[in-house]
Amino acid sequence: MTSVLHVATTGDDSADGSAQRPLRTINRAAALAHAGDTVVVHAGEYREWVKPRRGGLSDTRRITYQAADGEHVVIKGSERITGWIREDGNVWRAAVPNALFGDFNPFAEEIAGDWIVYRDGAAHKHLGDVYLDGLSFYEVDSRDAVTDPPLRTEVRDDWTAVTLPTANPAQTQHVWYAEVGDDETVIWANFQGADPNASLVEINVRRSVFFPEEHHLDWITVRGFELCHAACPWTPPTADQPGLIGPNWAKGWIIEDNDIHDAKCSAVSLGKEISTGHNFASVRGDKPGYQYQLESVFAARQIGWDKEHIGSHVVRRNTIHDCGQNGVVGHLGCVFSTIEDNHIYNIATKYEYYGYEIGGIKLHAAIDVVIRHNHIHDCTLGTWLDWQTQGTRISRNVYHANSRDLFVEVSHGPYLVDHNVLGSRASFESFSQGGAFVNNLFAGTVRLEAVPERATPYHRPHSTQVAGYAVIWGGDDRWIGNIFLGGDVAEAYGTGGDGKATPHHGLIGYDGFPASFEEYLERIEAKGPGDHQKFLDVQQAVYARGNVFAAGARPYAGESDPLVLDGGRAAVVAEDGAVYLETSLPADFDRARLGVVSGRDLPRVRFADADFEEPDGTPAVLNVDLTGELKPAGTDSAAGPVAALTAGEHRTRVW
Above pLDDT 70, what percent of the chain?
Answer: 95
Average pLDDT over residues 526-536: 89
Q: Does 55 have pLDDT greater than 80?
A: yes
**pLDDT exceeds 60 at position 170:** no
Secondary structure, 3-state, 414-468: CEEEECCEECCCEEEEEECCCEEEECCEECCEEEECCEEEEEEEEECCCCCCEEE
- Strand 63-67 to strand 175-180: parallel, antiparallel, or no bridges (unpaired)? unpaired
pLDDT at 500: 54
Exposure of 140 in the CB half-sphere (CA atoms within 13 A): 23
Q: Reply yes or no on whether the pLDDT at 161 is more than 90.
A: no
Domains by residue range for the chain, with CATH: 4-73 (3.30.1910), 79-204 (2.60.40.1180), 439-655 (2.160.20.10)
User: Alpha helix (H) ranges present in 188-257?
Assistant: none
Produce one character per residue of 275-309: b if its CB has 16 or more CB atoms within 10 Å, e if not: ebbbbbbbeeeeeebbebbbebbebbeeeebebeb
Q: What region, left, alpha or beta, does residue 25 occupy, with left being phi > 0 and alpha being psi -120 to 50 degrees?
A: beta
Please count the other Cβ atoms lying within 10 Å of the Cβ belonging to residue 409. 20
Render pLDDT for 348-407 as a digit per residue (tens, 0 to 9).
999 888 899 999 999 999 999 999 999 999 999 999 999 999 999 999 999 999 999 999
What is the rounded CA–CA span in Å between residue 583 and residue 602? Answer: 29
Query: What integer pLDDT is reported at residue 537 of this predicted model?
Result: 87
In this structure, what DSSP letter does residue 132 have? E
Q: Is the pLDDT of residue 156 over 80?
A: no
Mean pLDDT of the chain: 94
Q: What's the pTM value of the predicted model, to 2 decimals?
A: 0.96
Q: How many angstroms separate the CA atoms of 194 and 392, rounded?
A: 48
Query: How far apart are the C-alpha atoms of 483 and 581, rounded to whole Å?
Result: 13
Closest CA to 416 of 372, 380, 465, 377: 372
Q: CA angle at residue 507 from 501 to 513, to 5 degrees? A: 80
The number of CA neighbours under 13 Å toward the Cβ of 116 is 25
- Sign for the pseudo-dihedral over CA of 234, 236, 238, 242: positive
DSSP helix/strand/coil, 322: strand
Q: Average pLDDT in the 408-415 region?
A: 98
3-state SS track over 295-317? HHHHHHHHCCCCCCCCECCEEEC
Which amino acid appears at position 397 of this protein?
N
Virtual torsion, Cα 646, 647, 648, 653, nearest 10 deg: 30
Determine the pLDDT at residue 49. 98
Cα distance between residue 603 and residue 435, in whole Å: 10
- Report pLDDT for 496: 39
Q: What confidence tier does 245 reach under pLDDT thresholds 50, 70, 90?
A: very high
Tell me the C-alpha distance between 640 and 419, whole Å: 7
Three-class DSSP labels, 239-298:
CCCCCCECCCCCECCEEECCEEEEECCEEEECCCCHHHCCCHHHHHCCCCHHHHHHHHHH
Q: How confident is the model at residue 44 (pLDDT cuts 50, 70, 90)?
A: very high
* H-helix segments, 502-576: 517-525
Confidence of residue 122 (pLDDT cuts 50, 70, 90): confident
Tell me the C-alpha to C-alpha distance, in Å, between residue 333 and each of 36, 176, 215, 356: 24, 35, 11, 19
Kindly report, residue by residue over 339-360, the tens digit of the pLDDT. Answer: 999 999 999 999 888 899 999 9
Of 500, 540, 547, nearest to 520 (Cα)?
A: 540
Q: For residue 72, how many other CB atoms are within 10 A of its CB? A: 14
Over the stretch 586-606, which tens digit does the pLDDT of each residue have?
Answer: 999 999 999 999 999 999 999
pLDDT tops 90 at residue 2: no
Confidence of residue 554 (pLDDT cuts 50, 70, 90): very high
* DSSP 8-class letter at 489: H
